[in-house]
Amino acid sequence: MKTIGDFQKAYADGRNLEEVMRGVWEAIRDEPDDGIFISKTSWETVKRRVDEIEGKDLPLYGIPYVAKDNIDVAGLPTTAACPDFSHDPAESATVVNLLDDAGAICFGKTNLDQFATGLVGVRTPYPAPKNPFDEAYLPGGSSCGSAVAVAKGLVVFSLGTDTAGSGRVPAAFNELIGLKPTLGNISTRGVVDACKTLDCVSVFALSCNDADAVLKIAGKYDPEEAWSRKPPAKWKRFPEKVRFGVPRAEDLMFFGWDEAAGLFADAVEKFKELGGEPMEISLEPFLAAAKLLYEGPWVTERYVGIRELLETKPDSIFPVTRAIIEAGKHPLASDFFTARYKLAECKRLADIVMAKVHFILAPTTPRNFTVKEVEAEPVKLNSVLGTYTNFMNLLDYSALALPAGRYQGKLPWSVTVFADAWMDRALLELGGKYEQAISRDVPAVSADGFDEIHVVVCGAHLQGMALNWQLTDRGGRLVSSGKTLSCYRMYLVPAGGGLPQRPALVRVAEEEGIAIETEIWALSTAAFGDFVSKIPSPLGIGKVLMEDGKSVPGFIAEPIAAVGARDISEFGGWRGWVAAMGHNANE
């Protein structure tokens, strides 16, 4: 069992919670890769959690997960992969409490690049976790243990953190979904600071649906955390037809993995198949922002986070990590403001690009390297890995890493879709469609919680008809086709006032009506309001009774529309009338 659905089905089929959790615990206990975990939850603790939740109706009931060891979990030490930093937290991080309250069970703390500084996964004084696909290559960092634990099927999902790419690069190297939410969406209270202003908690999973299920629990405003932000009451989603940005050729860099260009081209084609229109864009302002993260004074944030340890026990810090963070001691306040002004300009230019598209598609990381290659050039090659990840939090975007095939058929490679802040769930829904397009056997992301209103159309607004553009131009999305209950008649409204001839759906007694062909479209709340404000008399919006028993807002007409009008009900709907009359649907 690897997904939330697998576990839920097992419980629905009568599997005992304790028995299932015992199997998970034993698999983790017996896992031969001793680099994945820094600490593991005891069976006594797991059993206590089983007793607490057994029989309760909880959204993540009995779902096993692990947390990166810079996230506090009560009962387990927090080390941030530095033994001298180790301490026992008095309480769990906010995100852990939310997941536990939802019924999930934490099975341990995972290894990381020390103090979450690095994208390689081997900057740790503990044994480094092994890449499940080829042990010679990097597992990806800094959330290396969290990613490998999910890739090996030990748990369903895991928590990482992502400041510069630590929740996406490991996803890429382990063929996982890597969600980097909007900054402040998931509370960082109880998370060891890397760069406090840029840190976020990330999610690793095997499907977008699972990552979405976790986000819906974990993405809550935390009034006790200064960096927490209130998520939207209703989430935006992408329209049926989208325009997506594709980096121009000079912005695509693979650093020796030239064959990955073909994998990227394949991903572009998949998004085109999903209704996307690619648009070439320049990544110049994004890449310029990325350079600020490690070449600018934001390294000082890392220094501030562990200054006391650096000054009192410098030898306890991993050598490469210490060299990077110690550089943060030197920048002046003037350096920060200079960099902040440059970032503001990068943000202005990047937002101009983003405004032209719904999202941007880019490589998650150019390539993977062997452990030996990184040992020889630890800083330079780490920087290569962050080419397309370092700018994301600086520019306040949401991002999602998605599997995109294997380099030379062996090593996982990945693409990232990213968009404005608070498009997290829209990206997950899009990612779920992409997963199905590449034949991953996963369920679609649930539509609950999105900002949309369903509207029934029955005439010129049907797909392919003359006024359908009024829906699509407002971002409308076709939900389904169906029929009304047999309590309606359809009448013909003649052309006039600049409008084509169109039908009027009128409610009648059930014994006098028939079922009429319709479509249900989804619009955002704002788009729906704008749409209905322009409906001409005698048409209007009311509740339409559908054959499946639902009552949905849709086009209905005042009874006066039937006076002297031709009854075209016998044709079963507007399409039937148009076909019978030989009309052009666009007339």
Cβ-based neighbour number of residue 124 at 10 Å: 27
pLDDT digits (tens, 9 = 90+) for 333-364: 788 888 889 999 999 999 999 999 999 999 99
Q: What percent of the chain has pLDDT over 70?
A: 99
The answer to whether residues 402 and 490 belong to one domain is no
Q: Would the pLDDT of 230 be above 70? A: yes
Higher-pLDDT residue of 331 and 160 is 160
| CA-wise closest residue to 522 among 455, 458, 461 | 455
Query: Can you give the residue range of the structural domain that contains 466?
Result: 453-581
Whole-angstrom distance, CA of residue 433 vs CA of residue 168 = 19
- Asked whether residue 392 falls in the same domain as residue 515, the answer is no
Structural domain total, the chain? 2
For residues 284 and 362, membership in a common domain is answered with yes
| Residue 9 covered by a domain | yes
Residues 422 and 464 both lie in one domain? no
Q: Mark which of 377, 405, 437 sits at the end of a domain.
A: 437
So what's the pLDDT on residue 98?
Answer: 98
Higher pLDDT, 305 or 64: 64
412 with 545, same domain?
Answer: no
Distance CA 284, CA 295 (A): 17
442 part of a folded domain: no
Residue 446 in domain: no
Active site positions, annotated: 68, 142, 166
- Domain stops at, among 437, 470, 490: 437
Same domain, 240 and 340: yes
Q: Let me know whether 171 and 237 are in one domain.
A: yes
Kindly state whether residue 587 falls inside one of the protein's structural domains.
no
Own/partner long-range contacts of 3-10 (Cβ < 8 Å, ≥24 apart) = 3/156, 3/205, 3/206, 3/207, 3/209, 3/210, 3/442, 4/60, 4/63, 4/156, 4/157, 4/209, 4/210, 4/213, 5/209, 5/210, 5/443, 6/156, 7/62, 7/63, 7/64, 7/156, 8/61
Q: Residue 398 is inside which H or E element, if any? A: strand 397-407
Convert 280-315 to b/e letters by CB count within 10 Å (16 or more is b): ebebbbbbbbbbbbbebbbbbbbbebbeebbeeeee
In a domain, 258, yes or no: yes
Position 316 in a domain: yes
The model carries a pTM of 0.88
Alpha carbons 81 and 86: distance in angstroms, whole number: 8
Total length of the chain:
587
DSSP helix/strand/coil, 117: coil
Boundary residue ending a domain (411, 437, 463): 437
Q: Where are the alpha helices (DSSP H) in 296-332?
A: 299-305, 307-312, 319-326
CATH number where 155 lies: 3.90.1300.10
Counting DSSP H helices and E strands in the chain, the numbers are: 19, 19
CATH of the domain at 524: 3.10.490.10
pLDDT tens digits along 515-574: 999 999 999 998 999 998 888 777 889 999 999 989 999 988 888 878 888 999 999 999
